[in-house]
């Protein structure tokens, strides 16, 4: 595995990798790698002979008062994990080189970027799409792998690729979960023992929605209510939103189908977590972390 910081060096290394290997797959991350990220890297490896993974905590996608400064970082640990997952090019660009000044030209995500996560975190998806476009421009991947854990992000990246004609195949991988159902997240490190205990209710809430769906309920708001009821029982959890979403256009679904996504965001103490499930797949459609 080759480790690179500079943009021009990464651009040249990716061109070389494409020339040598034919295809290049790319996994963008913010680091503090866990089994969810590693699974994306392994899927990338199945799609292409060469894999690039970036680690960049993107200041542009954090709002004022969010956790940009304290976001967990551990380059030494990430290096070992990336190598073990078969990454060829590990790219850790500096903020100074990615943003020599505040960018004046950015990507506008459109209406689907202003709802759900975008409504709670104004400007978030503009920051995400801008950095993804910049990363894509350097790496020029044939295929890029994203996690369904960030389902709205994945949908917006797909749309950007289509609307801007970027010619990158987008693969969206199922969410990797702990044995009790908690979705793996770099932010789980913020949870103390009590909050970790409560955090399991997020996936249980999704499970309650899926259960109602399986018993025949198709009204989106009834599925949302079933999930909300699980979270409402715990005073240590503050819900930002629970929504039944049409995956195509990211509008609220009045009538749920198998393809609809039940998504939620909630604060467990001071830690904000997101999770979602595809109704037709249920939590079984996701992956359990081993060990
Ligand atoms: P992040 O480092 O949190 O920005 O995530 C980088 C990529 O990993 C994104 O495409 C995420 O959706 C994906 N990801 C994060 N957590 C998980 C998980 N538990 N399972 C699968 N993919 C994940």
Task: Note the pLDDT of residue 3.
Answer: 98
Give the atom of ligand 1 at the shortest distance from the alpha carbon of 150.
Answer: 12
Residues 6+ apart with CB under 8 A from 74: 31, 32
C-alpha pair distances (Å), 251 with each of 161, 163, 203, 216, 256: 20, 19, 22, 22, 12
Q: What are phi and psi of 179, to 5 degrees?
A: -55, -35
Q: How many CB atoms lie within 10 A of CB 15?
A: 13
Instruction: Check if the beta carbon of residue 125 is closer than 8 Å to that of residue 156.
Output: yes
Q: Give me the helices (H) in 174-291, please.
A: 193-214, 220-232
50 in ligand 1 pocket by Cβ < 6 Å? Answer: no
Percent of all residues in the chain with a pLDDT value above 90, rounded to a whole number:
97
Q: Measuring CA to CA, which residue among 139, 1, 122 is closest to residue 65?
A: 122
Q: What are phi and psi of 25, to 5 degrees?
A: -105, 150
127 in ligand 1 pocket by Cβ < 6 Å? Answer: no
Is the overall model pTM greater than 0.75, yes or no?
Answer: yes
Q: How far is the CA of 147 from the centre of ligand 1 (A)?
A: 5
Query: Which residue ranges make up each domain of the chain?
Result: 2-173, 179-288
Helix (H, G, I), strand (E, B) or coil at 34: coil
Q: How far is the CA of 162 from the centre of ligand 1 (A)?
A: 22
Task: Note the pLDDT of residue 129.
Answer: 99
> How large is the angle between the packed helices 35-47 and 75-84, nearest 10 degrees?
40
Nearest CA to ligand 1 atom 19: 184
| 34 included as an active-site residue | no
- CATH no. for 179-288: 3.30.1300.10
| Second-level CATH architecture of 2-173 | 3-Layer(aba) Sandwich (3.40)
C-alpha pair distances (Å), 244 with each of 8, 257, 283: 43, 10, 15
Task: Note the pLDDT of residue 183.
Answer: 98
Mean pLDDT, 10 residues at a time, over the chain (291 residues)?
98 96 95 98 97 98 97 98 98 98 97 98 98 98 98 98 98 98 98 98 98 98 98 97 95 98 97 98 92 50
What pLDDT digit, counting tens, does each position of 140-177 carry? 999 999 999 999 999 999 999 999 999 999 999 999 99
């Amino acid at each position: 595995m080759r480790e690179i910081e500079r943009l021009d060096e990464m651009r040249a290394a990716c061109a070389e990798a494409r020339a040598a290997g034919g295809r290049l797959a790319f996994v963008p991350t913010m680091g503090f790698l866990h089994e969810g990220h590693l699974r994306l890297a392994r899927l990338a490896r199945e799609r292409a002979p060469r894999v690039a993974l970036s680690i960049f905590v993107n200041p542009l996608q954090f709002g004022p008062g969010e956790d940009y400064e304290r976001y967990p970082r551990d380059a030494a640990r990430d290096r070992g994990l990336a190598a073990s997952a078969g990454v060829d090019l590990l790219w850790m660009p500096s903020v100074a080189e990615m943003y020599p000044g505040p960018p004046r030209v950015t990507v506008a995500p459109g209406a689907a970027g202003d709802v759900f996560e975008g409504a709670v975190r104004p400007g978030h998806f503009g920051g995400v799409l801008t950095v993804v476009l910049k990363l894509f421009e350097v790496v020029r991947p044939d295929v890029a792998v994203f996690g369904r854990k960030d389902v709205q992000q994945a949908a917006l990246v797909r749309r950007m690729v289509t609307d801007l004609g970027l010619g990158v195949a987008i693969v969206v991988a199922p969410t990797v979960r702990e044995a009790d159902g908690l979705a793996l997240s770099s932010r789980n490190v913020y949870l103390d023992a009590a909050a970790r205990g409560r955090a399991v209710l997020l996936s249980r809430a999704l499970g309650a929605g899926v259960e109602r769906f399986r018993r025949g309920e198709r009204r989106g708001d009834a599925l949302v209510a079933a999930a909300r009821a699980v979270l409402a029982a715990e005073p240590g959890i503050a819900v930002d939103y629970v929504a039944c979403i049409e995956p195509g256009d990211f509008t609220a679904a009045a009538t749920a189908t198998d393809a609809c996504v039940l998504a939620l965001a909630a604060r467990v103490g001071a830690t904000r977590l997101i999770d979602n499930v595809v109704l037709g797949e249920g939590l079984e459609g996701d992956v359990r972390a081993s060990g």
